[in-house]
Structure 1
Amino acid sequence: MTEPTHNTTDFGYKTVPAAEKVSLVANVFHSVAAKYDMMNDVMSLGIHRLWKRFTLDCSGVRPGQHVLDLAGGTGDIAALFSRRVGANGKVVLADINESMLNVGRDKLRDLGLINNIEFVQANAEALPFADNSFDIISIGFGLRNVTDKAAALKSMFRVLKPGGRLLVLEFSKPEQQWLSKVYDMYSFKLLPVMGQLIANDKESYQYLAESIRMHPDQETLKTMMAEAGFSEVSYHNLTGGIVALHRGFKF
């Protein structure tokens, strides 16, 4: 594995030109979009729904607020926020991937949650919103796929209102060595096979497993958020650190 430079970046365990990562990641999610929800339920035994509910509970969201659900994909987190902000609030579900956005739009329309949700195709590194636009920003299982994570965090800080909070829900580093070993076996032996059987796409789920390992650990991400301007940054490990919820405020 070659070390990335300022002109290159990681794509799973591969090092690729930074300019190519967006399209490579896009191809992964174009491929898995139709089976994404089903795979999430199978891969996590449904526990991803509890992680997302915990994120909502830590958000402090209130009726009438404006929420940005970034890398919102098929809309699970946006749906939770939509019900909380009510008719006078607004949720913007933003994703760089058109296929994921289309699946999310169709699903939320079927749930009758379309009235207070706006759908925007957007790159997290250069968000197309005015400064100080949102009370809350969430990004669930999306930051690890961003090419320039520092730029994305700064972009989120810019569009967050003073007093607002950012919630980053992402796979992280297990707290115990035995859990790391079990998780590695699951991720690299079983996950690609499940991807082949359910989504007919072994390679995409191999990338997703590798991208988790390349993502910054809990303390590194905490530091990155502070460097982007966020205050009182903290994190809470879930399922033994397999997932972590980071939270930071804009004061």
Structure 2
Amino acid sequence: MTDDKTTHFGYQEVPVGEKQARVRAVFDSVATRYDIMNDLMSMGIHRLWKRRAIEMAGVRRGQQVLDLAAGTGDLAERFSEIVGPDGAVVMSDINEAMLSQGRARLVDAGRVGNLDYAIANAEALPFADNSFDCVTIGFGLRNVTHKQLALNEMFRVLRPGGRALILEFSHPTIDPLAKAYDLYSFTMLPLMGKLVTGDSDSYRYLAESIRMHPDQETLLSMLEQAGFERCSYQNLTAGVVAIHRGYKL
């Protein structure tokens, strides 16, 4: 059990003040090989998950989008295409190494003009109330120390009529799949991490962080607690991943 002085870092219980630095160290370690590992770990399926998340986000031309925990910018890149020159996308991450990788990739791809970059903590966003039409966070909420604070902040910076979308690993709904997924996560992921990035510990943490993340119904309740309405979720790959969505009405 954790209290207000401790929190989970994977399966470890650590002082609250240490988690952010530990998470930063994980992503500093894997930043340069992050995209390669995503393809290897998911056998490319992460691209389909992200495509579905973009569809569910419902972003339109001219809108303002905030992409939290943007990493190397998969979601932000597509959003920048959709909103066009009259819209804007803020690509934000607490980890400077990840954000730098993403910015370099998007600049190389010619994605300039409607993309801005911000190093920001999801628990205390440096943006005004009612600033964005859509706020997304893909595979990042599980690394946030105080998840409810992050959801509250997402609600605050959204405009009335806006929506939040959370793409995250979740809890498989089929028992045989859950067992196979556990075996894969705790054996193959650290091994691949060691072979590709030279870092097995970071990928062991990632596997543990998924298990410690709230399940689908719990996260749905947390969205409602933050003030969101019309909240729902969709399981992908039998609950290995879930997309949660809520509206600020």
Pairwise same-fold verdict (TM > 0.5): yes
Please give the alpha-carbon distance, in whole angstroms, between the structure 2 residues aligned to 1:98 and 1:142: 14
Q: 2:194 aligns with which of 193, 196, 199?
A: 196
Q: 1:139 aligns with which of 127, 137, 140?
A: 137
Q: CA shift at 1:146, angstroms?
A: 0.2
Please give the alpha-carbon distance, in whole angstroms, between the structure 2 residues aligned to 1:202 and 1:76: 24
- Which residue is 2:54 aligned to? 56
Q: CA shift at 1:115, angstroms?
A: 1.5
Please give the alpha-carbon distance, in whole angstroms, between the structure 1 residues aligned to 2:32 and 2:175: 35
Q: CA shift at 1:59, angstroms?
A: 1.1
Q: 2:164 aligns with which of 151, 155, 166?
A: 166
Q: CA shift at 1:234, angstroms?
A: 0.2
What amino acid is the match of 1:124?
A: A
Question: Which ranges of structure 2 fall in alignment gaps of 5 or more residues?
Answer: none
Q: Deviations over 1:40-73 (max 9, x none)?
A: 0000011111111101111111100000000001
Please give the alpha-carbon distance, in whole angstroms, between the structure 2 residues aligned to 1:155 and 1:8: 22
- Which residue is 1:208 aligned to? 206
- Which residue is 1:153 aligned to? 151
- Which residue is 1:4 aligned to? 2
Q: 2:76 aligns with which of 78, 83, 104?
A: 78
Please give the alpha-carbon distance, in whole angstroms, between the structure 2 residues aligned to 1:111 and 1:87: 16
Q: Alignment partner of 2:60: what SS?
A: coil
What amino acid is the match of 2:191?
A: V
Q: CA shift at 1:114, angstroms?
A: 2.0
Please give the alpha-carbon distance, in whole angstroms, between the structure 2 residues aligned to 1:68 and 1:79: 12
Percent identity between the aligned chains?
A: 61
- Which residue is 1:118 aligned to? 116
Q: Alignment partner of 1:204: what SS?
A: helix
Q: CA shift at 1:228, angstroms?
A: 0.5
Q: 1:101 aligns with which of 85, 93, 99?
A: 99
Contact 1:53/1:80 (8 A) holds in 2: no
Give the root-mean-square deviation of aligned CA atoms. Answer: 0.5
Runs of 4+ in 1 over 3 A off after TM superposition: none
Please give the alpha-carbon distance, in whole angstroms, between the structure 1 residues aligned to 2:166 and 2:12: 25
Q: Alignment partner of 1:37: what SS?
A: helix
- Which residue is 1:21 aligned to? 19
What amino acid is the match of 1:249?
A: Y
What amino acid is the match of 1:153?
A: L
TM-score by length of 1: 0.99
Contact 1:75/1:108 (8 A) holds in 2: yes
Please give the alpha-carbon distance, in whole angstroms, between the structure 1 residues aligned to 2:34 and 2:116: 21
Name the count of aligned residue pairs.
249
Q: Alignment partner of 2:92: what SS?
A: strand
Question: Which ranges of structure 1 fall in alignment gaps of 5 or more residues?
Answer: none
- Which residue is 2:218 aligned to? 220
- Which residue is 1:244 aligned to? 242
Please give the alpha-carbon distance, in whole angstroms, between the structure 1 residues aligned to 2:91 and 2:198: 27
Contact 1:70/1:138 (8 A) holds in 2: yes
Q: Alignment partner of 2:167: what SS?
A: strand
Q: 1:37 aligns with which of 26, 35, 38?
A: 35
Q: Alignment partner of 1:138: what SS?
A: strand
Please give the alpha-carbon distance, in whole angstroms, between the structure 2 residues aligned to 1:34 and 1:66: 29
- Which residue is 2:128 aligned to? 130
